[in-house]
Structure 1
Amino acid sequence: MTSYDPVMFSRMLTSLTLGFHIIFATIGVGVPLMIALAEWIGIKRGDAHYLLLARRWARGFVITVAVGVVTGTAIGLQLSLLWPSFMRVAGQAIALPLFLETFAFFFEAIFLGIYLYTWDRFKSRTAHFWLLVPVVIGSSASAFFITIVNAFMNYPVGFTYTDGKITDVNPIAAMLSPAMPTKVAHVLSSAYLTCALVLAAVSAWSLLKGRDHVYYKKALKLTMVSAFVFLVSTAVIGDLSGKYLAKYQPEKLAAMEWHFETQSHAPLVFGGVLDENNEVRYGLHLPNALSVLAHGYPSATVIGLNDIPKDEHPPLYIHYLFDIKMGYVGYMTLVVLLFLIAMRLRRGNPYAKWLLRLIIVAAPVAMLTIEHGWIFSEVGRQPWILRGLMRTSEGATTSEHVDTMLIVFSLLYLVLGITSVRVLTRMFRSNRAEDEMVARGMEEEEGGAIR
């Protein structure tokens, strides 16, 4: 009979909570920016379709914020209950960004309430738009500060560590971990990209169902063009992340590419299997690509796993996590480019049914990319919870009731997930955009033209 392992159950519960929360956190970061883009375009062009787009997106956003509050609270609770030793040691250094994250959320929530309840109450629409700016700043700042905590876990700085205790803490220096710039930028950019594709899928679904209305076409164009911009920025930041890993977390980079021998002109490996001698079979080798990813030029030397203590090796299956993630990125890139090409070609049809179906699939693919990215990030840091200082097994609780908590929180997330989907579905199914435009007396003065 297998003995009870509180570390395993703590990891399972934390993974479940983060995996569920990241869905709503991603929406909470990206959707406000998309709302702002829609409203700004509507104001500048005097286009009622974009203004209605902003209004409808804002309604749905409120539901996801409510669920995100619950799951975010669960994370805070579990940090103290499941990882008490970690919080006792690291809590002093990360207390400031945790506090600032809470402050950023309240800042966002206050202005979101004002924004929602002041539609049509200003003579100047621009005045109403400016109420949304703090919401965008607050949502992104919330992600910024909580990601700083994760960056600190990957490369802790700003303190003295002696006999298992942190002293001489410099909170600002702790927030400025070398992992912070690339990790924060990647989280924000990928959240914007994912939300653009999720909203694009909603419009594509409506068009596929026969709602051939200019409102949905404008929504699809806005979201797909935005997705292209965020895709490019995410790719650039991803390249910088590889260079960060090469310098500060070489064991993670080596494990994700099954790179065992320190060498120059290192190839990047895609797919394959490892044999008993750690030789890669059936994989696709891209010559010099790992050296370029790590240091920017083909002859660069990349540290291999054989030069790192074996008890500090991350699990080698993160190679597959990274490959799957890059496969998702390839799919999203293909779909976005196909849409843009179809939109630019004289005889192209960006609203063809086959392309709409691809766009719909891109939404769950984008969210899975976020999930795989976080799993890769966290598993790739193992065996450390606080890299170089505290192992995951040392930071976990010794409680005998974590398995019960796992069941309780699983049920909670199941209820929240089903409820939020049902509420959002009913909210928009019973109140279609074209019906709302008629009810509000909006005229399609542009005759279906997409600007």
Structure 2
Amino acid sequence: MELDTLELSRLLTFITLGFHIIMATVGVGIPIFFSIAELIGIKKKDPHYILLAKRWTRGYVIVVAVGVVTGTIIGLQLSLLWPSFMQATGHLISLPLFLETFAFFFEAIFLGIYLYTWDRFKPIYHWLLSIPVILGASASAFFITTVNAFMNTPRGFEVEGEGLYTNVQPLLAMFNPATPSKVAHVLTTAYLTATFILGAIAAFYILRGKAHVYYKKALHLTMIGAFVFGMATIINGDFAGKFLAAYQPEKLAAAEWHFETEDRAKLIIGGILDEEEQEVRYAINIPFALSILAHNTPFEEVIGLNEFPEELWPPLYIHYFFNLMIFIGMYLVSVAGIYLLFYYLKRFNPLQRWLLYLIVWGGPLAILSIEAGWIMTEVGRQPWILRGFMTVGEGVTTNEHVYEMLILFSILYLMLAILLPVILIRLFKNKPAEKEIENHNIIL
């Protein structure tokens, strides 16, 4: 089947963002943990935590380098693949795009100083350098997320004539109704994903017989972070549900296969949909739960999909990505909670193999959850590129060479996907933590 320009452009954008979002998520999440590890090491005079900070920073630099490549490509593709959208809204989103670039440079400058001054500053002064890195990474996520939020709830302009956007107010466009819930969810899920990846690595080494206390401390620190940010993610998910009910009811209805407007609406988990009959089979139904998610009360009405023209319905398969995102989030919180329960009650060994395996699986599952959440968000906005004002078809390029771009960039992402883990594995395999500790290669 031959794909047209629109389908090819969507596919290329999907591949690029799907790859970049992993780098961006890890890039936003890791700094807070190497900062915490270093501070604990300084306060307790514990060389293991100092080494944790050092090694996590080394890996982080590699991920950031790859993230720069894919992030630059996204900026290029916005102009090449979606020129009508950029022409219409460029003066609205240029401010957060500029600030996102500034935040990245701010982070990069202090990351370079932080990385190369371990032995040159007093420990507490060196730790202070990690704060700008955290702020820069999180600010970068904040500003780029406001662009996505604007695409979901456009504000800050008036429309005159044929798509001419006037009376532009960039700050109002940035701080639109979607911004609070989206930014909060992006940040907490980034921290959650990063800490579970780090925890999964520690658990993997322990399973392989590396019983050194270094790995146990790494696991314990990351599981505390996973539980804290997992709970924060659940709370933000609740806020996001209420935002959808108020501002994007068609997306919430599509995600829950909710066709008729009704109160006491049930939450549907799993199942198979008969679209013609609008019937769901083999699903788990939780009474009142959708009304509670949308309005905090079981007696409030939830708007159904049939209230909207069918051509404006989001693809109904987002239901599965919505379910997957929620399931993995609950899994991560539960695993971290079980570990902490075992650790602090001291009645069970928190390093039991079955629990370590669950933690190891949590790393890739956390990444999968990020992908599922992104698909739910972006596909759930369809058919709009700018909700209510411009469809995806209206924003796409007329260039006939998108196929060549798709092949070229797909090869690039494949190479990066192979090289990144190879480089990270060789980086740490040639310099194991035990050897660094034995060589006393740590400054307190």
TM-score range, shorter chain: over 0.9
- Using the TM superposition, give the Cα deviation of residue 430 of structure 1 relative to its aligned residue in structure 2, in angstroms: 1.2
- Using the TM superposition, give the Cα deviation of residue 206 of structure 1 relative to its aligned residue in structure 2, in angstroms: 1.0
Figure out how many residues of one structure are paired with residues of the other and give that number.
441
What SS does the corresponding residue of 2:129 show, helix, strand or coil?
Answer: helix
The residue that corresponds to 1:261 in the other structure is 260
Deviations 1:75-117 (A, max 9, x none): 0000000000000111111000000000000000000000011
The 2-side partners of 1:364 and 1:333 are apart by 15
The 2-side partners of 1:323 and 1:133 are apart by 36
- Using the TM superposition, give the Cα deviation of residue 441 of structure 1 relative to its aligned residue in structure 2, in angstroms: 6.1
Choose which of 153, 166, 191 in structure 2 pairs with 1:155.
Answer: 153
- Using the TM superposition, give the Cα deviation of residue 274 of structure 1 relative to its aligned residue in structure 2, in angstroms: 2.0
The 2-side partners of 1:343 and 1:14 are apart by 44
The 1-side partners of 2:351 and 2:434 are apart by 18
Structure 1 runs (4+) deviating above 2 angstroms are none
Does residue 9 in structure 1 map to residue 8 in structure 2?
A: yes
Does residue 85 in structure 1 map to residue 102 in structure 2?
A: no
The residue that corresponds to 2:40 in the other structure is 41
- Using the TM superposition, give the Cα deviation of residue 310 of structure 1 relative to its aligned residue in structure 2, in angstroms: 1.5
Matches within 5 A, 1:279-358: 279-358=279-358
Matches within 5 A, 1:40-439: 40-122=39-121, 124-163=122-161, 164-275=163-274, 276-439=276-439
Contact 2:318 2:376 in 1 (8 A): yes
What's the C-alpha RMSD, in Å, of the aligned pairs?
A: 1.2
One-letter amino acid of the counterpart of residue 159, structure 1: F
Which ranges in structure 2 are unaligned for 5 or more consecutive residues? none
- What's the % identity of the aligned pairs? 58
The residue that corresponds to 1:449 in the other structure is none
The 2-side partners of 1:441 and 1:199 are apart by 22
What SS does the corresponding residue of 1:284 show, helix, strand or coil?
Answer: strand
Deviating more after overlay: 339-348 vs 430-439: 339-348
What SS does the corresponding residue of 1:285 show, helix, strand or coil?
Answer: strand
Deviations 1:371-399 (A, max 9, x none): 00001100000000000000001101011
One-letter amino acid of the counterpart of residue 136, structure 2: G
Contact 2:231 2:333 in 1 (8 A): no
The 1-side partners of 2:431 and 2:441 are apart by 15
The residue that corresponds to 1:20 in the other structure is 19
- Using the TM superposition, give the Cα deviation of residue 358 of structure 1 relative to its aligned residue in structure 2, in angstroms: 1.1
Deviations 1:230-277 (A, max 9, x none): 001000000000000000000000111111111111111111122221
One-letter amino acid of the counterpart of residue 258, structure 1: W
What SS does the corresponding residue of 2:78 show, helix, strand or coil?
Answer: helix
Query: Are residues 139 and 442 of structure 1, via their aligned partners in 2, closer, same or farther at CA, if it must alter by over 3 Å?
Result: closer
Report the TM-score, using the length of structure 1 for normalisation.
0.96
What SS does the corresponding residue of 1:272 show, helix, strand or coil?
Answer: strand
Which ranges in structure 1 are unaligned for 5 or more consecutive residues? 444-451
Report the TM-score, using the length of structure 2 for normalisation.
0.98
The 1-side partners of 2:167 and 2:2 are apart by 40
- Using the TM superposition, give the Cα deviation of residue 328 of structure 1 relative to its aligned residue in structure 2, in angstroms: 1.5
- Using the TM superposition, give the Cα deviation of residue 4 of structure 1 relative to its aligned residue in structure 2, in angstroms: 4.6
The 1-side partners of 2:249 and 2:319 are apart by 14
One-letter amino acid of the counterpart of residue 419, structure 1: L
The 2-side partners of 1:423 and 1:41 are apart by 28
- Using the TM superposition, give the Cα deviation of residue 3 of structure 1 relative to its aligned residue in structure 2, in angstroms: 5.0
The 2-side partners of 1:423 and 1:283 are apart by 44
- Using the TM superposition, give the Cα deviation of residue 442 of structure 1 relative to its aligned residue in structure 2, in angstroms: 6.5
The 2-side partners of 1:190 and 1:134 are apart by 20
One-letter amino acid of the counterpart of residue 193, structure 1: L
Contact 2:226 2:333 in 1 (8 A): no
Query: Are residues 3 and 202 of structure 1, via their aligned partners in 2, closer, same or farther at CA, if it must alter by over 3 Å?
Result: closer
One-letter amino acid of the counterpart of residue 125, structure 2: A
One-letter amino acid of the counterpart of residue 207, structure 2: L
The 1-side partners of 2:201 and 2:271 are apart by 36
- Using the TM superposition, give the Cα deviation of residue 331 of structure 1 relative to its aligned residue in structure 2, in angstroms: 2.0
Deviations 1:23-73 (A, max 9, x none): 110110000011111011111111111011101100111100100000000
One-letter amino acid of the counterpart of residue 250, structure 1: P
Query: Are residues 212 and 271 of structure 1, via their aligned partners in 2, closer, same or farther at CA, if it must alter by over 3 Å?
Result: same
One-letter amino acid of the counterpart of residue 40, structure 1: L
- Using the TM superposition, give the Cα deviation of residue 286 of structure 1 relative to its aligned residue in structure 2, in angstroms: 0.8
